[in-house]
Amino acid sequence: MNYRSTRGQVSGQSFESVVLEGLAADGGLFIPEQLPTLPADWQTAWAELSFPELATELIAQFVGTDLSHTEVSQLVQKSYATFDTPEVTPMVQLDARTHVLELFHGPTFAFKDVALQFLGNLFEFFLERRNAQSGGHRLTVVGATSGDTGSAAIYGLRGKKNVEVFILHPRGRVSAVQEAQMTTVLDENVHNVSIEGTFDDCQDIVKELFSRAEFRREHSLGAVNSINWARILAQISYYFYAFFALRRSHGADALPAFVVPSGNFGDILAGFYAQSLGLPVAKLVIATNANDILDRFLRTGTYEKDASVAATPSPAMDILVSSNFERFLWYLARDHEVPSSVVDPEERAARACEILAQWMDRLKTAGSFSVSPAALDAARQVFWSGRCGDAETYSTIAAHYSHEPSYLLDPHTAVGVHVAETLRPEIQALGAHVHSVCLSTAHPAKFSDAVLRAVNDAGHQLDFDSILPAPFVGLLEKPRRCFESENSADAVAQHIVDVAQSK
């Protein structure tokens, strides 16, 4: 199993290499050179597997010879032993044909734990193995967060041998709980950095640091954002798990339409890969908040940055540019932009890289690019989309809290549920066997201000202490450590240098 960059200058990379490097040297994202073929009997052989067992089978398809099946199993078991339910990602039914897939049962109560617990263990495993062969291997993980990635990365990497982790977050643009989850972790290898700016500013700084070849090499930079392929790979598992759970509860012909709150596109990209592997899926639905670059693309065929980020009740989705969309665009270019007269697979891949690089250059210089009508039609065959405003977010939270049985949504999940309800006629038209499965990305207690406002403004009462997870009790009063940086890659680079010299 080898991997290539979407930009075309790097190929033939091993799984271990792409995990440790994160971002390709040419600025592209790693994708498999070929997708694996699942066993012919996977729908029956895997139907009753536990989540860790299912994740092991799926991940093992992508690691080549870098990990044995036993090693994959051990890493997976270790990663999901930290979750508070054996199901790892249980599914809850809201009504006859609408379900919520709860992805927030990990140590930081966000869906990112599913991938980052695994990625942290992968980093440690590969580094320890390399050091056993020849000492001196370390990794400096640099990541940007709009809230949940930061705490999940920190909890996945805290105390790990041979790893330093620097997490950049936009000052004042994450929830109080999210900020406290990050900055109250005082392990010596954890370094929080607040930036005066937006998540996109933080993400741009990370990409700039990775583009500095000498700095990247000297400090052995590694990526923890969903630009790291291992993040996407780990998330494929819960699409398969939800498929089997739905069929166990609703019959052998039940089919999921996954509705996914989308910011950086990593979560729903895992659904695209699951479908590409052969998972039966009725539809993949992108749900955006007011920062709706993905919804606008599917309506117009033009991928265009807004002038600024809108602050919403769902801050983890307050993103101008969805980094992981580049991976899907590569497949769109290969299959629908490269002329059909080009039949050689490697030549089609090379042409796709050229087209993708041109699109990304236009996005950087002009702020937008457009795809062909054929490519847009193909994208619409895979994805539907919908947009949810702030008022709809609050009203959806209130409606489901007051409904019988009551269910409390966090604001990001509320975006997904609202879009699922808006598109209910279209989803139901796909067939009586199709069910909406809304991915729930965070525990509502992480967004107390938005949840309480939604419930109280609707005239309801909520005893927030009754839903507060034990680790959140007293969290806001704990000691903190955070470095306040100016909004520049140079300033962050100097902080990394200063920390390294102090070790």
429, 329, 420, 338: which is closest to 382 by C-alpha? 329
With b meaning 16 or more CB within 10 Å and e meaning fewer, what string describes 461-488?
ebeeeeebbeebeebeeeeeebbebebe
Q: What angle do CA 241, 19, 28 make, to 5 degrees?
A: 100
Cα 149 from chain centroid (whole Å)? 8
* Six token digits for residue 450: 């938005």
Catalytically annotated residue among 78, 112, 160, 207: 112
Whether 161 sits among the annotated catalytic residues: the reply is no
Cis peptide before 405 (omega within 30 of 0): yes
* Residue owning tokens 């070929």: 34
* Six token digits for residue 207: 């990409």
* Six token digits for residue 9: 């200058």
Secondary structure (DSSP) of 320-352:
SS-TTHHHHHHHHHHHHTS-TT---HHHHHHHH
Asked if 149 and 225 touch (Cβ cutoff 8 Å), the reply is yes
Taking only Cα atoms into account, the Rg of the chain, rounded to an integer number of angstroms, comes to 22
Name the β-bridge partners of 357: none
Dist. CA 22–CA 17, nearest whole Å: 8
Active site residues: 112
